[in-house]
Amino acid sequence: MSTAAVTSSDPAFRNVRPRKPGRVGVPLVASVIYLIAFIALGWVDNGLHRAWGRMAASAAITLLFVLWWLIRGPLSWRERILIIAWTIGIGTLAIFLGMSPFLLMYVPAILVMAWTLWLFAFRSASARAVRVGMYLLPVIAWVGGSCLRVEGLTGELNPDIHARWSPTGEERFLAEGKNHARDSLKDKPAAPARPLAAGPGDWTQFRGPHRDGVVTGVMIATNWNESPPKQVWRQPVGPGWSSIIAVGGRLFTQQQRNDMEEVVCLDSGTGELIWSHQDKVRFSESMGGDGPRATPTFADGKIYALGAMGILNCLDAATGELRWSHDISEGRKPSVAKADENAEKAKDAAKAKDAAADKHVPPGGMAPMYWGFAGSPLVTDGVVVVFAGFDREDSLQAFDAGSGEVAWKASSGTHSYSSPELATIERQPQVLLLNDAELTAVDPANGRNLWRYESGLKPGEAFPSIQPKVIGASSVLVSFKPDSSMLLDVSSKNGDWKIDEKWRSHEFKPYFNDCVQYQEALYGFEAPLLCCVDANTGKRNWKKGRYGAGQALLLGDQGVILVLGEKGEAALVAADPKAYRELGRFQAINGKTWNHPAIADGRLYVRNAEEMACYELKLE
């Protein structure tokens, strides 16, 4: 049977004539423009602008093709409508069955280009051949998208894509160490009763002893390309963006284990578990991933840890015994469980803790704060300071470090993913907190507000994540959102505080990657690139080295920056304002890495949401 006979006998294609190459010229040109735009947007440093740009480009090419198809498509009007409806139906079913909505940035545009190539390749073929491709390609595209799993976004706001059938990091963690918490404690001698104490070289809190990301008293060999640090141990770890602290030969961090949020204590030399404290709670969020965000804090023999859902625990650092627990998301009265109290009170405390902790946020659901409680506790002057969010009247809260009783409350915005920072400005100790509404400074002794600097942003515009950084004697670097940073001059006369903006820079735009200072320059990340700016002017010196959304530490005694890149690579970069110079690098861990690295007693500790490793640094 001839082609003409087939088409003439089919009412849907009775008036269909052979297609000319020019009939698909519009979608062909649109596809070429889309590919050029997609590639060009990859070089845009601002991840939000790049993501929105690619979404807009995908929407534009899809809309253009649909309009062209409905107006100039080679099939009958009824068939064109049916194909569009078929495509929408298959796509809706794919999303309903679990395909990530994040893939809508890619799948429709890929389908449009596949349709365009099919129409061009079969431009002179029968209508039946055209129909087959137009019905079959949506199935292939949506099924292909359903075979992929998106584990949140990268620091550049690109979907973190994996094959759906490949195990997740958490599944590997549970499979390789599913009884780790139980079996590794079995037959283990009781932990020593003597309190744990910090010594020189320990890493006691988020970003180091002074929360500034600076390592002192250490000089290391920098020829990592020829002789990288030696791996001491490596092991799987549960989900979470908590960093590591190191005290007295022990490591402390937080992770997720199924529906339990854990604070764990490990042997720094072997990685073996010493103790584990669990709360029945799980935080899940589709963009950033699951698990706790904050880093534990060590002070006076105790560990203070804040979970992603707002459970603040005080634990004995040597034994893991619960001293007190408080749910800051609900403002409940803290429960106390001291070792010297009777068993009945301890039992009541445990029940109260479990009642407060029995919470769960399903994947993609809303938590007390959208990305969870991320601020690491600050311990100073006998109180533990945390950001509780919500009510402007008591969003910054302090608890007695010994008893857990409320010490004071202060107003400090409604949202923040930054941690309280201790500073001394004009000889006045103060706690700084960067939040959506302002930079707040309060007296750590009583929570009295000393001064504020308002962000000037509307609600929902600011989600600050970086630490306010004190520069010099009385200047503070802040960034409320990833489009600029500013240096504030803070002065006081007779108790009256004055805040002036020294400079505002659009050449240094940190997002959730904290910077370090060496001499007169600042070093930090602007999107995927390492950036150096003049601390006095905010002018950029250089921006190079594509590490993704990495983190940085400064080896202050030798002017070297240790970078932990987003893909788990560790690198050394000279703290040189004149030029970017990478001294060496090696692959430390695998997987998306947003966690801050730590250095203690000549060892480098790194982790992400999948694994943790310890490396021996060659000292000089």
Is the model's pLDDT at 492 over the cut of 60?
yes
Contact 109, 63 (CB under 8 A): no
| pLDDT band (50, 70, 90) for residue 82 | very high
3-state secondary structure of 103: helix
pLDDT of res. 444: 96
Is the model's pLDDT at 287 over the cut of 60?
yes
Closest CA to 528 of 550, 509, 502, 503: 550
Closest CA to 370 of 435, 305, 284: 284
pLDDT of res. 594: 95
- Residue 529 CA to its chain's centroid (Å): 16
pLDDT of res. 331: 52
The DSSP bridge partners found for residue 453 are: 439
pLDDT of res. 7: 42
pLDDT of res. 463: 81
Q: How many secondary structure helices (H) and strands (E) does the chain include?
A: 9, 37
pLDDT of res. 541: 97
pLDDT of res. 223: 92
Q: Is 518 exposed, middle or buried (0-12, 13-18, 19+ CB in 10 A)?
A: buried
Is the model's pLDDT at 179 over the cut of 60?
no
Q: What is the tens place of the pLDDT at every residue in 567-603?
A: 999 999 999 999 999 999 999 999 999 999 999 999 9
Q: Hey, CA dihedral for 36, 42, 44, 47, is it positive or negative?
A: positive
In angstroms, the first-to-last Cα distance of the chain is 85
Q: What is the tens place of the pLDDT at every residue in 48-80?
A: 778 889 899 999 999 999 999 999 888 889 999
Q: What is the tens place of the pLDDT at every residue in 353-412?
A: 444 444 444 333 334 567 899 999 999 999 999 999 877 788 999 999 999 999 999 998
Q: What is the average pLDDT value for the chain, to the nearest integer?
A: 87
Q: What is the tens place of the pLDDT at every residue in 17-52?
A: 444 444 788 999 999 999 999 999 888 767 777 888
pLDDT of res. 413: 87
pLDDT of res. 180: 55
Q: What is the tens place of the pLDDT at every residue in 104-148?
A: 889 999 999 999 999 999 888 888 889 999 999 999 999 999 999
Looking at per-residue pLDDT, the higher value among 271 and 14 belongs to: 271
Judged by average pLDDT, the poorest of 127-136, 254-263, 603-612 is 127-136
Contact 135, 35 (CB under 8 A): no
Closest CA to 284 of 609, 12, 514: 609
| Token pair of 553 as six digits | 């530490």
In degrees to the nearest 10, what's the CA dihedral of 81, 87, 88, 91?
Answer: 180
- Residue 186 CA to its chain's centroid (Å): 34
Closest CA to 285 of 226, 239, 345: 239
201: left (phi over 0), alpha (psi -120 to 50) or beta: left
Largest CA distance in the chain: 100
Spatial distance between the Cα atoms of 512 and 544, rounded to a whole number of angstroms: 18
Rg for the chain, CA atoms, rounded: 28
Percent of the chain, pLDDT > 90?
66
Judged by average pLDDT, the poorest of 18-32, 247-261, 485-499, 561-575 is 18-32
The DSSP bridge partners found for residue 349 are: none
Looking at per-residue pLDDT, the higher value among 575 and 154 belongs to: 575
Residue with tokens 């040189």: 576
pLDDT of res. 51: 84
Spatial distance between the Cα atoms of 48 and 512, rounded to a whole number of angstroms: 13
Looking at per-residue pLDDT, the higher value among 459 and 495 belongs to: 495
Q: Is 339 exposed, middle or buried (0-12, 13-18, 19+ CB in 10 A)?
A: exposed
Q: Is 200 exposed, middle or buried (0-12, 13-18, 19+ CB in 10 A)?
A: exposed
pLDDT of res. 449: 95
Closest CA to 535 of 572, 577, 499: 577
Is the model's pLDDT at 87 over the cut of 80?
yes
| pLDDT band (50, 70, 90) for residue 528 | confident
Is the model's pLDDT at 347 over the cut of 50?
no
Spatial distance between the Cα atoms of 359 and 362, rounded to a whole number of angstroms: 10
pLDDT of res. 566: 95
DSSP state of 539: -
Closest CA to 297 of 374, 363, 391, 377: 377
CA distances from 5 to 127, 128, 390, 573 (A): 12, 12, 72, 72
Spatial distance between the Cα atoms of 445 and 442, rounded to a whole number of angstroms: 9
Spatial distance between the Cα atoms of 160 and 610, rounded to a whole number of angstroms: 14
Indicate the length of the chain as a whole number. Answer: 620
Q: CA angle 260-262-267, nearest 5°? A: 145
Spatial distance between the Cα atoms of 298 and 303, rounded to a whole number of angstroms: 5
Q: What is the tens place of the pLDDT at every residue in 420-444?
A: 999 999 999 999 999 999 999 999 9
Is the model's pLDDT at 178 over the cut of 80?
no
CA distances from 340 to 93, 312, 347, 406 (A): 59, 21, 13, 22
pLDDT of res. 193: 60
Residue with tokens 């909505």: 101
Is the model's pLDDT at 323 over the cut of 80?
yes
